[in-house]
């Protein structure tokens, strides 16, 4: 069970986080596990407070959050084109 940052808890949130982390591990996007898990959990918590209750939708929100963070880091790390 993940230590959620707010008092409200539902097994759906834990299930969504577990599914998202399984996917992220299998696709090598969770190399920094704790960082990826925290980012995914925060995305799930935000969606939960916004009224999302679907396990698959929460999973998707978590995966997208981690993938978008990876994309932002890739853009920042690119070197300028030297022509």
Q: What are the residue ranges spanned by the domains of the chain? A: 11-77
Residues 6+ apart with CB under 8 A from 53: 10, 12
pLDDT in tens, 28-48: 999 899 999 999 999 999 999
pLDDT of residue 9: 73
Q: Evaluate if residue 53 carries a pLDDT over 80.
A: yes
pLDDT score of 73 = 74
Alpha-carbon span 10 to 13, nearest angstrom: 6
Residues 63, 40 contacting (CB under 8 angstroms): yes
Write down how long the chain is.
83
pLDDT over threshold 70, residue 82:
no
Name the pLDDT band for 77 (thresholds 50, 70, 90): low
Neighbours of 24 (CB within 10 A): 22
Vertex 78: Cα angle to 77 and 83 (nearest 5):
150
| Rounded-to-integer distance, Cα 68 and Cα 7, Å | 27
């Amino acid at each position: 069970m993940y230590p959620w940052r707010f008092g409200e808890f539902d097994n759906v949130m834990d299930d969504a986080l577990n599914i998202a982390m399984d996917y992220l591990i299998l696709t090598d996007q969770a190399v920094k596990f704790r960082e990826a898990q925290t980012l995914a959990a925060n995305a799930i918590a935000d969606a939960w407070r916004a009224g999302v209750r679907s396990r698959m939708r929460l999973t998707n929100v978590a995966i997208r959050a981690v993938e978008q963070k990876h994309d932002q880091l890739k853009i920042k790390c690119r070197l300028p084109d030297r022509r």
